[in-house]
Structure 1
Amino acid sequence: MAIPRRGKGPLAPPWASFRHQEPRQARRSSVDPTGVLPYLYVVSSHRPDRTVELAMKTLRLLTFLSVFTLALNVTPSGASPPEPIRFMMSPHVYGDLIAFSYQGDIWIVKRDGTPVRRLTNHIAGDVSPRFSPDGRWIAFTSDRFGNDDVFVVPVEGGEPTQLTFHTTGDNVEGWTRDGQIMFATSRSTSPFFSPLYTVSPEGDLPLPMEMDQAGNAAVSPDGRYLAFNQASLSTPRNAARKGQRGNRTTDIWILDRENGSFTKLTDP
């Protein structure tokens, strides 16, 4: 619609004074020679060439930052770099294999460091892995059901099996020579030490071992000998300290499981 003007003809609209510009196609980005990125079309009445140039510089910068960020997080092979293992706990050796606890799960690795395999994957804490005498199983302690219990898992991997269900804590110590899992338990009338129990990998009824008030047990590599601390009411477990001498120091004993004999190794 024309706007009347006194003494003259119709007033032209303000945009009529600008030179008409056709849409100009932006040149292809140097970082996109394959043409994957879309073309830019800019319509400008002032500096279309300057607008295109600024848009292309911005596009190049964003593309470069994307590629650079991707390069920082991806190795040349395209896989994320492996996380180094630090502070592994409770290592146990069988042949050329080492089982250990790391970040609350049970892992296996060869002596040369490769390959590392995760045997358990649970939000709870899985600790104290121990190989069976034949190397086929690993017993470990887990609190995945509220308190510490004994579990077993095949060395080749699989679903762990719960073996103890007591309301008190059961903690794996090792294996006996005949393939029973030895564990320390809180199911005891002693105010200081708990007896050692054994349970089969099949989950039979746990049975107490030959001695009372034993703790900190360890089995010899051949499974024949059992080393442990022996305590009494006058020598509770919490009285033991490194370098301590006196009548309240706990003793170290050896049990020969073949003939049932006990040997005292220390004389505080």
Structure 2
Amino acid sequence: MTSSSYLRFPHVHGDLVTFVAEDDVWIAPLSGGRAWRVSSLQLPARNPRFTPDGKRLVWTVVQGTSPEVVSAEVDGGGYRQLTYFGHATTRVKGFTARGEVVVTSAFRQAESRHTYAYRLPVDGGWAEELPLG
């Protein structure tokens, strides 16, 4: 990665930082050194977040007009798509105390302005609507 890249959406966990550059998710040591690319999906990525245990990354990737949530292990390997909402309002927001991903979206809603929070396992599974708002 060249030094002229624009780094966006940084998130720190321990001695690592994750960020988006060139529409991909990267990880680098906070102390400096070489960054490594986690994703190469050739799709715009947003808001990468380390899981609370620091073993995985979760982020939003825009496929066409619909953002979806994906995850990958920090140490490498492929990614896994966690949502199939197909709605433009889908976003990663954080994690529950148990380490589940918190996502907001207006999928299954009549109006896009009515977003709801959902939790889902970081390694995949069914989304459960949270009793919020």
TM-score after normalising by structure 1: 0.46
Match of 1:107 among 26, 34, 37: 26
Residues 1:148 and 1:108: Cα distance change in structure 2 (over 3 Å):
same
- Is 2:100 the counterpart of 1:172? no
- Is 2:73 the counterpart of 1:149? no
**Which of the pair has more CA radius of gyration?**
1
Question: Aligned-pair RMSD on alpha carbons?
Answer: 1.7
- Is 2:109 the counterpart of 1:198? no
Does structure 1 conserve the Cα–Cα contact (< 8 Å) formed by 2:106 and 2:112?
Answer: no
Does structure 2 conserve the Cα–Cα contact (< 8 Å) formed by 1:123 and 1:144?
Answer: no
Higher strand share: 2
User: 1:167 offset after TM fit, Å?
Assistant: 2.1
User: 1:113 offset after TM fit, Å?
Assistant: 1.9
Aligned twin of 1:94: 13
User: 1:165 offset after TM fit, Å?
Assistant: 0.7
TM-score after normalising by structure 2: 0.89
The 10-residue stretch of structure 1 (167-176 or 122-131) with the greater mean CA deviation from structure 2 = 167-176
Aligned residues: 131
Does structure 2 conserve the Cα–Cα contact (< 8 Å) formed by 1:130 and 1:175?
Answer: no
Partners of 1:210 and 1:190 lie apart in 2 by 19
User: 1:146 offset after TM fit, Å?
Assistant: 5.0
The 10-residue stretch of structure 1 (165-174 or 175-184) with the greater mean CA deviation from structure 2 = 165-174
Q: Which amino acid is 2:32 matched to?
A: G
Higher helix share: 1
- Is 2:128 the counterpart of 1:207? yes
Gap regions ≥5 residues in structure 2:
none
Aligned identity (percent) is: 24
Partners of 2:119 and 2:43 lie apart in 1 by 23
1:65-115 deviation line (CA, Å, top 9, x unaligned): xxxxxxxxxxxxxxxxx6105321111110010000111000001112212
Aligned twin of 1:182: 102
Higher RCO structure (Cα 8 Å, ≥6 apart): 2
Partners of 1:161 and 1:145 lie apart in 2 by 18
Does structure 2 conserve the Cα–Cα contact (< 8 Å) formed by 1:104 and 1:125?
Answer: yes
Residues 1:121 and 1:146: Cα distance change in structure 2 (over 3 Å):
same
Match of 1:139 among 51, 54, 58: 58
